[in-house]
A = this chain, B = another copy of it.
Amino acid sequence: MFAERTRHLNGSDIRAILKMTEQPGMISFAGGMPAPELFPIEEIQEVSQHVLKHHGKQALQYTITEGFLPLREQIAQRMQVKFDKACSPQQILITSGSQQGIELSGKLFLDEGDVVLCESPSFLGAFQAFRLYNPRFIEVPTDDQGMVMEELTRILETTDRVKLLYVIPDFQNPTGRSWSLARRKELMEIVSHYEIVVVEDNPYGELIYEGDSLPSLASLDQKDQVVFLGSFSKILCPGFRVGWVCASPQWLEKYVMAKQAADTHTSTFCQQVIHSYLERYDLEQNVSKIKDVYRKRRNIMLDVMDREFPETALFSKPGGGLFIWVELPAFVNTREVLAKSLEKGIAFVPGGSFYPNGGHEHAMRLNFSNMSEDKIIEGIPRLAAVIRTFI
């Protein structure tokens, strides 16, 4: 009965693990969830009241597919300030989370057999969304500076039908690494010679724990090739499911039509609440509070890992974002490690999930944003003990 494309339909490993982590007492380094104790609940209470009291009829009614204009204006401004990208509100489409931006990109650009290039490893939610459009994934090797440009060039020169490049240049999921400025510039120079869409997924760019922010690919884009995906999930909260697409007006028009067919528009109420929050409170202050807490959690996790993990475990020291990436010796299978560590009450995501073409079963992704310092101090040594039994 089902369409051919559904043979690529898989639930996310992460979400399956998350279900297991609902057991009480579980220490989970698995999800990419923000710390709920940092949600500005009282402020959101206040703005929800404000919106309903003063704009209730509009906030609970249908709105245009593009999204609530005053929020799009705020986002356009934010694109300039935070991502160096000059754009108009007419280049912003509000989406139901940035996941929807990925899905719409697949729908708009991918014919069966088209090639999607991505960092190796990369975000598995993107694979899930793109896979339904039957592309071929080619993973481009990465190092500490980002995608390896020689490899990218070689692939582009020798591969037909490369349609889309999906990248997370800031504090990547799953590795936590950021691209250097040189790589960003090189990338945009190289792709400018090809008819390729660059999907720049940027949910973590504002969560910087050391160093300066670097210009987004969108800001270096001379040929309107970049589709930038943003989100309020990590800088405010994920429960509203509000993200955005920023693209050229010509491309945005197509995104709007595809969005209309997909779900008409994103919740008016959630859009207005966020708009009102941005107007009445200081999101910078909120982000700054989040950064202070996550920085500490990262530091503690790295410290304990330094002390407790076997020397053969190599791990990233991310300057921002939510994740630490661990590579164990090649003979260790982290799916087996996970089975054991769940028995000890510890969850993480095995690294193999982040490679669209499989393999690489010796890595793991650890999240440091969602667990308290105490849980990190308690959980990491327990995980280390499990790992040691495999080495």
Contacts and interface: CB of A to CB of B under 8 A. Distances in A.
Interface in A132-184: 132-133, 163
A74 interface: no
Contact of A6 (B18, B45, B59, B254): B254
A260 B58 contact: no
B60 A2 contact: no
B61 A261 contact: no
Interface residues of A, number: 78
Contacts of A239: 59-63, 267-269
A64 interface: yes
Interface stretch (A99-107, A210-218, A333-341): A99-107
Q: Give the oligomeric copy count.
A: 2
Interface string A4-45: 111001111001001100000000000101101101010011
B132 A264 contact: no
A36 B57 contact: yes
Contacts of A267: 96, 239-241, 267, 270
Nearest to A61: B36
Contacts of A129: 261-262
Given A2-B254, A48-B48, 17 more contacts: A6-B108, A19-B64, A36-B61, A39-B61, A41-B56, A41-B57, A44-B56, A45-B52, A59-B239, A60-B238, A60-B240, A96-B96, A99-B262, A125-B261, A129-B261, A239-B267, A241-B264
19 contacts: A1-B195, A2-B108, A4-B111, A5-B111, A10-B257, A11-B257, A15-B64, A36-B60, A44-B60, A60-B239, A62-B233, A103-B262, A128-B261, A238-B268, A240-B269, A241-B263, A241-B265, A262-B262, A267-B270
Q: Which 10 A-B pairs have the closest CB atoms?
A: A36-B57, A41-B56, A60-B239, A239-B268, A60-B237, A128-B261, A96-B263, A100-B263, A45-B52, A241-B267
Interface of A: 1-6, 9-12, 15, 18-19, 31, 33-34, 36-37, 39, 41, 44-45, 48-49, 52-53, 56-65, 95-97, 99-100, 103, 107-111, 114, 125, 128-129, 131-133, 163, 195, 197, 233, 237-241, 254, 256-258, 260-270
